Amino acid sequence: MHILFLGDVVGRTGREAVAAALPKLRTALGIDLAVVNAENASHGFGLAPDMARDLFAAGADAITLGNHAWDRKELIPYIAETPRLIRPLNFPPGTPGAGSILVELADGRRALVLNAMGRLYLDALDCPFRTTAVELSKYRLGASVAAIVIDFHAEASSEKMAFAHSFDGQVSLVVGTHTHCPSADHQILPGGTAFQSDAGMCGDYDSVIGMEKAGATTRFWRKMPGERLAPAEGESSVCGLFVQTDDATGLARRVEPVRLGGRLSQAMPVV
Ligand SMILES: [Fe+2]
Ligand SMILES: [Fe+2]
């Protein structure tokens, strides 16, 4: 199976870049399953329902979220009726939406997509390790599901690596989101799980993690409330990860970064 994961979509420039690139990437890489984190799609804060619809129309099979999940309140009723839009699994019981979704691919194969959120320097949520372990106990990779993709939305690389090693061999991919900077540690772990501690963002990298740099920089120089941050609106880089899995086991055979457009050095897998 060919899997594409794209990191946090930031603002209009990120949305437009993903809408343009995703259909082409699906074709060029023969993608079976595409997952996009869109927690910053709406002006850097949250996701509006019409933006989610546009990402599905562009070719996202599932959309994941993070700490900005509810910044656009309209998403709360929308998530209840949109199973392919998921929020972190370890939000407290009773929170609208679900933390995982079984996606049926065009050829009938099924893939589990799961979103969890770390706790270091973030909200005091339920334990992402224990909640993920409980959810994964319902599935067998390579048997009941052909692939399992986890978006682990977290700040600290240490928590991301510990999480990935905890589920090595049980899932196809653990990819980090939230820092908005693509890490260079993409690899297949010893048990066969593909991992990258952060996929990077789909946004303008002439910025401070996607936001307009003058306002974002001032916050560090002066202890003063700044203006509300706005996304940088230059050309976006589309950042993510391509993973090829073994159909018999569901484990990874190949993992490569994708970085297209904008200021970053370019990376495109050859299939
Ligand atoms: Fe983000
Ligand atoms: Fe985040």
**For the chain, percent of residues with pLDDT exceeding 70:** 100
Q: Which ligand is nearest to the CA of 14?
A: 1
Known catalytic residue at 186? no
- Separation of CA 131 and ligand 1 centre (Å): 22
- Separation of CA 64 and ligand 2 centre (Å): 11
Check whether 173 has a pLDDT greater than 80. Answer: yes
Q: Tell me the pLDDT band of 110, cut-offs 50, 70 and 90.
A: very high
Dist CA 19 CA 58 (whole Å)? 5
- Separation of CA 144 and ligand 1 centre (Å): 31
Q: How many residues does the chain have?
A: 271
For the residues 128-153, what does the mean pLDDT come to? 98
For the residues 249-266, what does the mean pLDDT come to? 98
Dist CA 18 CA 150 (whole Å)? 20
- Separation of CA 87 and ligand 2 centre (Å): 11
For residue 269, the one-letter residue type is P
- Separation of CA 224 and ligand 1 centre (Å): 23
Q: Which ligand is nearest to the CA of 38?
A: 1
Interval 158-172: pLDDT, tens: 999 999 999 999 999
pLDDT at site 224: 79
pLDDT at site 195: 99
Q: Which ligand is nearest to the CA of 239?
A: 1
pLDDT at site 228: 82
Check whether 182 has a pLDDT greater than 80. Answer: yes
Contact indicator for 255, 243 with CB cutoff of 8 Å: yes
CA 190, distance to chain mean position in Å, is 23
pLDDT at site 236: 98
Q: Which of 2, 68, 153, 178 is catalytic?
A: 68
Which of 139, 144, 126 is closest to 167 using CA atoms?
139
